[in-house]
Amino acid sequence: MPVMSYIQAVTSALREEMQRDEKVFVLGEDVGRKGGVFKATEGLYNEFGEYRVLDTPLAESAIAGVGIGAAMYGMRPVAEMQFADFIMPAVNQIISEAARIRYRSNNDWDCPIVIRAPYGGGVHGALYHSQSVEAIFANQPGLKIVMPSTPYDVKGLLKAAIRDNDPVLFFEHKRAYRLLKGEVPEEDYVLPIGKADVKREGSDITVITYGLCVHFALQAAEKLAEEGIDAHILDLRTIYPLDKEAIIEAAKKTGKVLLVTEDNKEGSIIGEVAAIIAENCLFDLDAPVQRLAGPDVPSMPYAPTMEKFFMMNPDKIEKAMRELAEF
């Protein structure tokens, strides 16, 4: 199996889906000739031409709007927001149109669009290139939000998102693009949207997280294994709607649960995970459910020391895991 980086897995999923289905097309800022600012669409313009890889104006509302219209007419658009931070002008299109249309039209219409966006910090991106925006969309029935943590999951889930008949927000951690590498099968495969995945079996504590934090948690778990602390790690993969069954099972497994996100703590998706555990697992809990998250500060600062304070990292997770294990 070839080893791919996280971003190569994105490109490969896009290429294979465009080859498989000619209704699939890509649109976004600089996705064509330049191949995207992160090079996620590199080579697609040459392979599929300007009618299937569209360079758009700097207008996110239009990117989403055009994509939604095309999707409702039977196309399979994959729209790219250059940074998740810039999705805000498109929120009305995504929530009020894409998420609602199937319900509003009583199943007459659907909207199979994928909106990809790089999120997250730790790359000196400062306020407008570091945000985690998933919580804004995570209470909008009709939407699905996928946030993969490994190259293997990226390929399988992006393909599934493109083939899904409803709108999917696909958030990719920009620091993971070149940081994470892993084996990715060359052949076609899809992974189920809405299913969490156990990334590490363990019996002492349960860590539930998603995205880049899964990688950090795994690193922390390896260190703690040397101290005899055995961590169970659940990767949510789809953060909306949540895989309740998997969350309950993972929480019950050890009774000590740490929830991790890079997002601001209050109102983040892990609060919902905590609520699911509280509703279902009282008599299996051996410790208060812990949340480890970014501070409730408007955005990630530029100054390296401040960025480090805000950004999640393996050390912070390791500390929280050890404390929970010792409880």
Partner 1 sequence: MATEKITMPQLGESVTEGTISTWLVKVGDHVNKYDPLAEVMTDKVNAEVPSSFTGTIKEIVTAEGETVAVGELICYIETEAGGTVEASAAKGEEKKETVTAQNETTDQSMKNRYSPAVFKLAQENNINLNQVNGTGRGGRITRKDIEKIISTGQTPTLSESATPAITVEKESSNNTPGPSTPQPTSQVGDIEIPVTGVRKIIAQNMVRSKTEIPHAWMMVEVDVTNLVNYRNKIKNDFKQNEGYNLTYFSFFVKAVAQALKKFPQLNSTWAGDKIIQRKDINLSIAVAKDQELFVPVIKNADEKSIKGIAREINDLAQKARNNKLTTNDMQGGTFTVNNTGSFGSVQSMGVINHPQAAILQIESIVKKPVIIDNMFAARDMVNLCLSLDHRILDGLICGQFLAYVKETLETMNENTVQVY
> Which residues lie near partner 1 (CB under 8 A)?
38, 123-125, 174-175, 177-179, 203-204, 254-256, 282-287, 326-327
Nearer to partner 1, 251 or 269 (CB): 251
Cis peptide bond N-terminal to 304, omega within 30 = no
- Among residues 129, 173, 215, 232, the one annotated as catalytic is 129
Report the distance separating Cα 232 and Cα 203, nearest Å: 6
CB of 215 to partner 1, least distance (A): 11
Are 234 and 197 spatial neighbours (Cβ–Cβ below 8 Å)? yes
C-beta closer to partner 1: residue 91 or 179? 179
**Do 182 and 232 meet the contact criterion of CB atoms below 8 Å apart?**
no
State the minimum distance, in angstroms, from the CB of residue 230 to partner 1: 10
Q: CB of 109: closest distance to partner 1 in angstroms?
A: 38
Q: Is the CB of 75 or the CB of 179 nearer to partner 1?
A: 179
> Sheet harboring 144-146: ordered strands across?
53-55, 24-28, 76-80, 114-119, 168-173, 144-146, 238-240
Closest CB to partner 1 among 66 and 325?
325
Q: In this structure, are residues 132 and 119 in contact, taking their beta carbons and an 8 Å threshold?
A: yes
For residue 35, give every residue at least 6 positions away whose Cβ sits within 8 Å of its Cβ, in sequence order, or none.
Answer: 41, 42, 43, 44, 45
| C-alpha radius of gyration, the chain, whole number | 19
Q: Which is nearer to partner 1, 20 or 124 (CB)?
A: 124
Buried b (16+ CB within 10 A) or exposed e, 295-306: eeeebbbeeeee
The nearest distance, CB 306 to partner 1, in angstroms, is 16
Q: Which tokens is 226 given?
A: 């040397």
**Residue whose CB is less far from partner 1, 8 or 238:** 8
Is 129 catalytic? The answer is: yes
Q: Which is nearer to partner 1, 167 or 182 (CB)?
A: 182
Taking the complex as a whole, how short is the minimal distance between the CB of residue 311 and partner 1, in angstroms?
A: 13
- Minimum CB separation of residue 325 from partner 1 in Å reads 9
Cα–Cα distance for residue pair 243/315, rounded to 1 Å: 27
Least separation, in Å, of the C-beta of 78 and partner 1? 21
Annotated catalytic residues are: 129
